[in-house]
Structure 1
Amino acid sequence: IMFSLLLILPILIAATPEFDNSLTTAPTVTCERGSLSLDISSSHGAPSVVFAKGHFNKEGCSFRNATHVTLDFEKCSVRRKREINPRRMVYSAVVVVQLHPLFITKVDRAYAVSCNYMEAEKNVGAGITVSELTTQLLSTEREQPTCTYSLKKDSPNGPNVKVASVGDSIYHVWECPSEVYAMLVHSCVVQDGQGQEQKVMDENGCSVDTFLMPELTYSNDLTKTFTAAEAFNFPDVTSVQFSCQIKCCVKGDESCAARTPPRCGVVHEEVSVSEWKGDEFLSTPSSLNDPVFGLINDGKTVR
């Protein structure tokens, strides 16, 4: 008699362990002057390492146990690209968020981060692979500054003036507050409101007639400029209107530093303002804030 014994043994399948930390949302990107910042949210504490691709061991480009990091464009070899359509300057880098303390694993993420300094607001998409990671695009745009043109009395910080006598000292003041952009005032004309106009500043930002419009003085951060000029008028005209164009460029860019502040009296051998590539600059005409003021002749206010 033969007996068969069937032994059934339980097979134990171990569950795949889960890492105790994960990213809750995509990082928030902030574009600054010469740098970009990321704010990172994770479920349990800060990531082990956040670094710019290719700079894992470089101080200032690799950060341990941090939820807020800032990457310097120059130090971390952030890629710079000028594009014409749409017109913009793009700074981009791949940033890796490593949760595991030692290795790149499936829970880690790589992001293609870009800062777009542009005239028109438009996002672009791109893909890149970092090792086994799928790269997610994070793109943000830096808005152009809001520029103003005003006429002041007594000083560049004095009260606005609307009425003046011929010969009075008037301060022309232009401002484009920004940490990222520098400004250049150029192509200024004075108009009589009846179709007649006269250029007082050329395309390079230099005075055509320093008796009428002295050369401009720029602030150190290139966001404000002014000049003191004596009030003048067209014959038999009650008021005059000043109109200027303002171009803004990214501080630190070579072409920007070559043009603002303007070096008046120096022959420009490269290109004139009108020939600058549009992707390098933002144009902000002052038509919305054109100063208009009346002049007083023989003691009478002319309006």
Structure 2
Amino acid sequence: MQADKTVTYPITVATQEIAGLTEIAEMPRCRYEVIDPETRDTVDVVTVGSKLLHRWTCESSAPDLWCMTVHSCHVEDGSGTTFSILDDKGKRRRRAERGICSIDRYLLDNLEYGPGPLQAQKEAHAFKFADK
């Protein structure tokens, strides 16, 4: 037979002062780049199967005020038809369990956030849709 036992520990939680903002922060300036992961140079012409690094970066004078979620990414097949490759929820940095992100992991898997506070990236291989 097991006995129930209540265990207690005295602890006090101190309150923190709320820090006020004295400046108006500008919105971060964001960019998307496709990079050769070996040379770290941006690329604009690639061959099917080439390894690429997709990188989203935002710059801000106050990076601790902001967080980022990359979402709703699409590719175009060259004839005007678009295909979603990242969903509209995105993969949230601190709550990854809430959003899937990648729609087709063979084209682009879930993004990795970091190393900086306003960065996301993922390696993938270049692909092309079949000609119609």
Q: What is the TM-score normalised by the length of structure 1?
A: 0.32
Looking at CA atoms only, which structure, 1 or 2, has the larger radius of gyration?
A: 1
2: CA distance, partners of 1:194 / 1:149: 23
Moved beyond 6 Å, runs of 4+: none
2: CA distance, partners of 1:144 / 1:222: 15
Is the CA contact 1:177–1:224 (under 8 Å) kept in the aligned structure 2? no
Q: Which residue of 2 aligns with 1:151?
A: 34
Q: Which residue of 1 aligns with 2:87?
A: 202
2: CA distance, partners of 1:77 / 1:170: 44
Counterparts of residues 70-81 of structure 1 (less than 5 Å): 75-78=16-19
Structure 2: state its 5+ residue gaps: 1-14, 91-100
Deviations 1:10-57 (A, max 9, x none): xxxxxxxxxxxxxxxxxxxxxxxxxxxxxxxxxxxxxxxxxxxxxxxx
Cα deviation for residue 183 of structure 1 reads 1.0
Q: Which residue of 2 aligns with 1:236?
A: 131
Percentage of identical aligned residues = 32
Cα deviation for residue 182 of structure 1 reads 1.3
More strand, by proportion: 1
Structure 1 letter corresponding to 2:72: S
Structure 1 letter corresponding to 2:17: C
Counterparts of residues 99-110 of structure 1 (less than 5 Å): none
Deviations 1:51-80 (A, max 9, x none): xxxxxxxxxxxxxxxxxxxxxxx83234xx
Q: Which residue of 2 aligns with 1:120?
A: none
1: CA distance, partners of 2:115 / 2:48: 32
Structure 1: state its 5+ residue gaps: 1-73, 79-91, 93-114, 116-138, 238-303
